[in-house]
Chain A
Amino acid sequence: MLKVDVDRTQCQNFGQCVLEAPNVFVLNAKDEMEYTPVVDDSELENVEAAIDVCPMQAISLVSGR
């Protein structure tokens, strides 16, 4: 399993992560980003891509690689 963390003091709800890893990150009805902190290894590539595109560089992989 992968453990994903988002630094909420950095995140500005851009939702760029949602485009790359829709199974992990979503924008809710209030335009706030919500995410699943523990996800399957098969999401690794998508989470890596989300880390790359986050303008605030708020996402990190705590474990899993």
Chain B
Amino acid sequence: MGLLPVVIVGASLGGLRSAEALRRSGYAGPITVFGDEPHAPYNRPPLSKDVLGGGDVTHASVAFPQRAATADVDWRLGTRIASADLERRLVRTADGTEVPYRALIVATGLRPKRLSARTEGLAGTFALRTLDDAGALSDALTPGTQVVIAGSGFVGCEVAATARQLGCEVTVVGSGKLPMLGPLGPALAEELMRRHEAHGVRFRLGTHVAEALGQDAVEGVRLADGSEVACQVLVEAIGSLHNTEWLHGNDVDVDQGLRTDSAMRVLRADGRPWVDVFAVGDVARFPNAIYGDVPASIEHWNIPTETAKRASRILAMQLAEDPDVDAAIAERFAPVPSFWSDQYDIHLLAYGLPALADRMELLAGRTDGECVYGYFVGARMVGVCGIGMRSEVMKFREEVSRYGHVAIGEPA
């Protein structure tokens, strides 16, 4: 019998970067990656932006390049892992096959929350996470179509911009006072909303979609305030759920993401790590030294890469019985969250976690043109976000990424 593989569950950004980083860290043994989607790893951000708008929703247009170092990875695509037994060190595919592992990396990410099982079954309703979702939605966004977007976060607003540019009639329904209020703060959120309205997008804020109307296909929505909006397309962008159900029955903490230590090792309920089980990417809730080591999951694109590098390096050292592994585990882990968003000709770029702030301040430029805002808790700058002005935004990256800067959940 050959060596047992390192098994990675989830064949997206986090899974791919884990496999690459294992090789780069010197691990030469077998790697098996399970992914329930039929596609090799691809990039999700364009699915709400240029790819959705450009009509070229193909795997080739978003596929991550495959590197020579990972050519011998065993990709089991279209194969869902149904359960795991961490004590016995194995995972089970949906057809019951048991796959024993030497170490396990969990990279199963998120899936969209849905309004209800009934809306999910109606023709004309969409969620957006996968390439197949984007393909289906793209076909439905024809000129003149009335589109309601439930949810006014980033994905909702990006889809609104794209749909508007395709000639659809767009209404965004959001429960907040302003769209994207958390990550942008009031001044920028208000400006973004103004620009969307100038492009003809309508907003219904401070309410939510209570119900979808229609028998077989969606014909409209009823909002919580009783009013109705007609539509032929309903996009549900109301947030996400962590894909952790398959770990059910194991001694892990899956509340708001799979909890890990700062080495990305999955923790038992009593806080001790499983030494051979790691989690990376959107699914992981990990302590970040910038934010007082309070465990949180950060759903930004740069985090799967950073957490995968961290987990894979430690795992590779462990498997090689490298005596320095304890020192590597003890090293501080402080990845700087970064996000961007494209809507019309607006290019947003941010570092840190503006959502933690109680105050924002214009640092450069003009709000109605290009600008940079700083986000503060007291005197400490916890985030920076700009419309355009990229090199200005980058100047503040270091400032917002100091250790122990502010604790997530700390009262302001």
Binding site for B on A (CB under 8 A): 12-16, 18-19, 27, 31, 48, 51-53, 55, 57, 60, 65
Contacts and interface: CB of A to CB of B under 8 A. Distances in A.
Given A52-B17, A55-B340, A14 B65 contact: no
Given A14-B390, A15-B391, A65-B68, A53 B305 contact: yes
A12 B263 CA distance: 33
Task: Identify whether the interface residues of B are mostly helix, strand, loop, or mixed.
Answer: mixed
Interface string B376-397: 0000000000001111001001
A13 B390 contact: yes
Contacts of B302: 16, 53
Contacts of A51: 65
Given A31-B388, A53-B305, A19 B17 contact: no
Given A55-B45, A65-B68, A14 B391 contact: no
Contacts of A16: 302, 338
9 contacts: A13-B390, A14-B390, A15-B390, A19-B394, A27-B390, A31-B390, A31-B391, A53-B302, A55-B340
Contacts, number: 36
A52 B389 CA distance: 23
A14 B393 CA distance: 10
Interface of B: 17, 20, 24, 43, 45, 64-65, 68, 301-302, 305, 338, 340, 342, 347, 349, 388-391, 394, 397
A57 B390 contact: no
B166 to A, nearest CB: 20
Contact of B65 (A27, A55, A60): A60
A30 to B, nearest CB: 9
